[in-house]
Homo-oligomer: A and B are copies of this chain.
C-alpha cells in the first residue's frame, strides 16, 4: 500500500493535492489519505491557514473556491507529514528546496520515492543544479520530475491538459506516479529522461522573455513563432550539451513544446518582458516586476544570465544567438529591437 505526502501547499501544490486525492480514493494500491505539508501562516483574520484548510477543505489563500477532497490532510509539521510516506511529492518555490532537504535528511523512509514539480533550477558554470539531483543527493532517494503546460488554476477547473514525468531508471516507480496523477482531464505520460524534462521547465522562461519582447514591439505572429521555434531548438541543443543522455523526443512532450507555447502566450515572464520592450528598455525589469507581478518573481532574466555564464565559460556563445541576445537585452547591453537581429550573428 502506497502512502503519499505532498511537500508544499501553494497554488500548484494544492491543485496537485486535489488531483492525487481524487485518485488515491479510487486506487486499491494507495492509502486514501494524502498528507499535505502546509507552511503555517496566520491569515489576516488571525486564523491559522492549516486550521482553515481542515475546516473548509479549501486552501483559502492559494486556491480559494476549490475543494481539495476530504482525504487531504493538512499538516503544519514537516517531519510528521513525511514520516510514513513512501511517495513524496515536492512542490515548493525552488529557493526553499535546499532548506527543506536539510530538514528532511534522515527523517524519511529509506524506501521512499520522490517526484519534483519544482521549476527553476540554478544553472551554474559547473553545470545545471537540478532540483531532482538535489533531492536525490541530500535524501538518498530516487527522484523523478513532473513538468508540463500546467497553469494550476485551469487544471483546478478540470480543463483538459497534459504533463510529462521524467524518470531516471525506475520505470515501475514512474508508472506508479503516472497512476497517481493521471485523470481524464489531466493526461500524464512518462519518459526516461529526467534531465530533458527538468531542463525544459527552466529554459522555457528565457524563450518567454524573447517572446515578450516581440509582443511589446508588436512584431506579429510570424516573428513570434519564429522566435519560439529558435528558442525550442536552443533549449534542445543546450540540454544535450549539458546532458548527452537527453532525448530530442522529450521536447515534443507536454514539458517541451506545449509548456513553451503556454508560457510564451501567457505567463509572467512574457508579460514583464513585453512591458520592458514597450518602454524601450528605459524602465528596469526589477521595477516592472514589482509593479506587474505584485510579489511574484520572474525567473527568465536570472536564468538567461546564468545560462550566458555557462555559454561564455564553455565557449558556446556563438551556438546560442537567441539565449545570448535575451541576456544582452535584459541586462541593458542591447535595445529590445535587437531581438530579431541575432540571426546576423550566426545561422541556426
Contacts and interface: CB of A to CB of B under 8 A. Distances in A.
Interface residues of A, number: 46
Contacts of A155: 222
A226 B160 contact: yes
A109 interface: no
Interface stretch (A18-26, A42-50, A73-81, A254-262): A254-262
Contact of A259 (B189, B225, B230): B225
A187 interface: yes
B221 A262 contact: yes
A275 to B, nearest CB: 19
Nearest to A340: B160
A195 interface: no
A242 B159 CA distance: 33
Interface in A328-348: 340, 343-344, 347-348
B262 A343 contact: no
A149 B184 CA distance: 33
A82 B144 CA distance: 61
A223 B160 contact: yes
Interface in A143-164: 149-151, 154-155, 159-162
Interface in A84-126: none
A277 interface: no
A255 to B, nearest CB: 10
Contact of A161 (B222, B249, B261, B344): B222
Contacts of A223: 154, 159-161
Contacts of A319: none
24 contacts: A149-B222, A149-B226, A149-B229, A151-B221, A151-B222, A154-B220, A154-B223, A155-B222, A159-B222, A159-B340, A161-B223, A161-B226, A187-B343, A224-B265, A226-B254, A226-B258, A228-B257, A229-B252, A229-B257, A232-B252, A251-B252, A257-B257, A261-B261, A265-B265
B343 A265 contact: no
A168 interface: no
Contact of A228 (B258, B347, B348): B258
A65 interface: no
A313 interface: no
Interface string A201-234: 0000000000000000001111111111110110
A109 to B, nearest CB: 31
B154 A344 contact: no
A280 interface: no
A218 to B, nearest CB: 10
B221 A265 contact: yes
Contacts of A266: 221
Given A228-B258, A229-B257, A220 B159 contact: yes
Contacts of A348: 187, 189
Given A221-B265, A261-B261, 17 more contacts: A149-B226, A151-B220, A151-B222, A154-B221, A160-B227, A160-B343, A162-B229, A162-B230, A187-B343, A189-B348, A222-B262, A224-B261, A224-B265, A225-B262, A228-B261, A229-B252, A229-B257
A66 to B, nearest CB: 15
A154 B344 CA distance: 19
